[in-house]
């Protein structure tokens, strides 16, 4: 370091000289808050530099709730015993069965109008009988009446015969009786049977959880100065260097956390008794047998009988007196065959009389299953403890700042001092380069790394750095 030119260049590479003999060595990537621009009081031969004092931190351990305390509920249901109860569903009674009488049928016939073959006037459908004179005239006309076929007509006068009308009763159904059963009468009733006694039950709802994101501050936000490069950025008036204010956001750590959204509950619900109603029939009046007489039935039939034969006469040339000769027929005489009119009836005759048969019916019983309460429902609660998780975070105690600190500079620096500093750094594992007694970039990098590792002020060869290296210069 005896060569002034070499020494000056090396010193300028590490410091920025000021008119007061002070120096500032601030690496390009280092930032700090500027606390003061007032130079400290110094003695002759002393050098000061505005160095970066790093922020101070402390480590804290925090407990964070991951899962809140709760409880589990177990429901023990009510216990029942199965039993049977007998009830009368239908009381005993008598059943009467009516055996209806047996009948047989027979046919009977009666002649209502006797069959006949008659000469009639007025057409084949006429009921007026032809007179003998008409027949004689017909025979005189050359007709053989014995050969006339029924349905052949001639013209004649007719005086009707006298017909007597009578009424006759015809048996239709013999007298008998009907059998009627009046069944037993019951009144509807109900019987209430307790199927299941009154008890309790619990409706358990387990605790429900939700997951939320827990955010823990690990490093708070800070504002620092960084070396800049443009004229639009802030300029440090003391050093002539460009300094930029930069916001460094806070650092957080996020983790999922379970919290109780709804605590476990158990709701007591009374269970009413179960009663089942059964329909039963209560005997009011037993069955009865009733015999109802049925009278014989008849039908009235009209009968006709000829009392006087018809009288016949012919009018000569013209119709005669109707009162004397009979009604003028227009000389139409017909031989009419009238078949007998027979009416047939169907008779119902009793073959076997009706009767009653009785049968005793036993009462109807039924076994109903029921339940007897042995023990009521209960609940059991088990506490679930809260779950915590430990986190470590770094808390800033003091911000980084620029301070004036005593340093080695061109005034009080020699090759021997530089070599002793390089040796101390080398003993601690820092590579200072291949130029003993020379401050170059390798030494500068080693010095800066040592200050960072030891959390020392950065920006020059401060006396605190020399002391930390164990040197007395």
pLDDT in tens, the chain (473 residues): 444 444 444 444 444 333 223 333 334 343 444 444 566 666 665 676 767 777 777 787 877 777 778 888 888 888 888 888 888 878 888 888 888 888 888 888 788 777 778 887 777 788 888 777 878 888 887 888 788 888 777 665 567 877 888 888 888 888 888 888 889 888 888 888 888 888 888 888 888 888 888 888 878 888 776 654 433 333 343 443 445 667 888 888 887 888 888 888 888 889 898 888 888 888 888 888 888 898 888 888 888 877 777 765 555 445 667 777 677 777 777 877 778 788 887 878 887 888 888 888 888 888 888 888 888 888 888 888 888 877 677 777 777 777 776 776 655 678 888 889 999 999 999 998 888 888 888 888 999 999 999 998 887 788 889 899 988 76
Picking from 295, 321, 353, the residue at the C-terminal end of a domain is 353
The answer to whether position 331 is within a domain reads yes
* Claim to verify: residue 297 and residue 176 sit in the same structural domain: yes
The answer to whether position 448 is within a domain reads yes
- Residue 320: exposed, middle, or buried by beta-carbon count in 10 A (0-12, 13-18, 19+)? middle
* Claim to verify: residue 50 and residue 108 sit in the same structural domain: no
Say which residues have a Cβ less than 8 Å from residue 222's Cβ, sequence separation at least 6.
55, 247, 248, 396, 399, 400
Say which residues have a Cβ less than 8 Å from residue 197's Cβ, sequence separation at least 6.
273, 371, 372, 373
State how many domains the chain has.
Answer: 2
Rounded CA-CA distance 356/288 in Å is 10
Q: Give the DSSP H/E element, type plus range, for residue 292.
A: strand 288-294
The predicted structure's pLDDT at residue 5: 41
The answer to whether position 420 is within a domain reads yes
Q: Give the DSSP H/E element, type plus range, for residue 416.
A: helix 415-427
* Phi-psi label, residue 27: left if phi above 0, alpha if psi -120 to 50, beta otherwise: beta
* Claim to verify: residue 173 and residue 295 sit in the same structural domain: yes
CB-CB neighbours of 55 under 10 Å = 17
Strand, helix or coil for residue 250 = coil
* Claim to verify: residue 48 and residue 107 sit in the same structural domain: no
Phi/psi at 7 (nearest 5 deg)? -60, -40
* Claim to verify: residue 442 and residue 307 sit in the same structural domain: no
* Claim to verify: residue 177 and residue 292 sit in the same structural domain: yes
* Claim to verify: residue 460 and residue 405 sit in the same structural domain: yes
* Claim to verify: residue 292 and residue 433 sit in the same structural domain: no
The answer to whether position 127 is within a domain reads yes
The answer to whether position 6 is within a domain reads yes
The answer to whether position 215 is within a domain reads no
* Claim to verify: residue 406 and residue 463 sit in the same structural domain: yes
The answer to whether position 361 is within a domain reads no
What does the CA dihedral 142, 147, 149, 155 come to, rounded to 10 degrees?
A: 30
Can you give the residue range of the structural domain that contains 132? 101-182+287-353
The answer to whether position 187 is within a domain reads no
The one-character DSSP state at 451 is: H
The predicted structure's pLDDT at residue 318: 59
pTM, entire model: 0.34
């Amino acid at each position: 370091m005896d060569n002034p030119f070499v020494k000056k260049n090396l010193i300028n590479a590490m410091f920025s000289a000021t008119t007061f003999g002070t120096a500032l060595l601030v690496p390009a990537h280092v930032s700090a808050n500027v606390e003061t621009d007032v130079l400290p009081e110094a003695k002759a031969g002393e050098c000061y530099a505005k160095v970066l004092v790093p922020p101070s931190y402390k480590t804290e351990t925090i407990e964070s709730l991951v899962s809140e305390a709760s409880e589990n509920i177990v429901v023990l249901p009510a216990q029942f015993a199965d039993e049977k109860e007998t009830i009368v569903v239908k009381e005993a009674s008598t059943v009467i069965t009516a055996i209806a009488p047996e009948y047989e049928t027979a046919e009977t016939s009666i002649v209502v109008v006797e069959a006949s073959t008659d000469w009639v006037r007025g057409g084949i459908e006429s009921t007026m009988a032809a007179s003998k004179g008409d027949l004689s005239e017909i025979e005189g006309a050359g007709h053989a009446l014995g050969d006339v076929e029924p349905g052949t007509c001639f013209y004649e006068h007719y005086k009707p015969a006298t017909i007597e009308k009578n009424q006759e009763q015809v048996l239709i159904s013999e007298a008998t009786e009907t059998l009627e059963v009046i069944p037993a009468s019951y009144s509807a009733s109900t019987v209430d049977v307790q199927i299941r006694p009154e008890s309790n039950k619990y409706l358990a709802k387990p605790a429900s959880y939700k997951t939320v994101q827990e955010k823990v501050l690990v490093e708070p936000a800070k504002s620092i100065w960084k070396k800049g490069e443009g004229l639009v950025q802030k300029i440090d008036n003391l050093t002539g260097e460009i300094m930029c204010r930069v916001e460094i956001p806070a650092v957080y750590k996020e983790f999922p956390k379970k919290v109780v959204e709804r605590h476990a509950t158990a709701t007591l619900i009374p269970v009413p008794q179960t009663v089942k109603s059964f329909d039963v029939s209560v005997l009011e009046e037993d069955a009865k047998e009733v015999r109802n007489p049925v009278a014989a039935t008849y039908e009235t039939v009209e009968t006709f009988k000829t009392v006087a034969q018809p009288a016949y006469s012919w009018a000569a040339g013209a119709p005669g007196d109707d009162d004397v000769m009979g009604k003028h027929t227009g000389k139409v005489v017909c031989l009419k065959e009238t078949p007998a009119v027979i009416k047939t009836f169907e008779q119902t005759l009793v073959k076997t009389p009706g009767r009653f048969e009785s049968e005793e019916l036993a009462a109807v019983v039924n076994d109903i299953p029921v339940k007897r309460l042995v023990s009521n429902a209960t609940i059991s609660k088990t506490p679930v403890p809260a779950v915590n998780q430990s986190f470590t975070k770094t808390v800033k105690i003091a911000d980084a700042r620029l301070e004036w600190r005593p340093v080695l500079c061109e005034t009080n620096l020699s090759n021997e001092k530089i070599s002793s500093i390089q040796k101390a750094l080398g003993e601690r594992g820092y590579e200072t380069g291949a130029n003993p007694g020379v401050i170059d970039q390798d030494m500068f990098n080693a010095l800066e790394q040592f200050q960072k590792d030891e959390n020392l002020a950065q920006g020059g060869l401060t006396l605190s750095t020399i002391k930390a290296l164990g040197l007395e210069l």
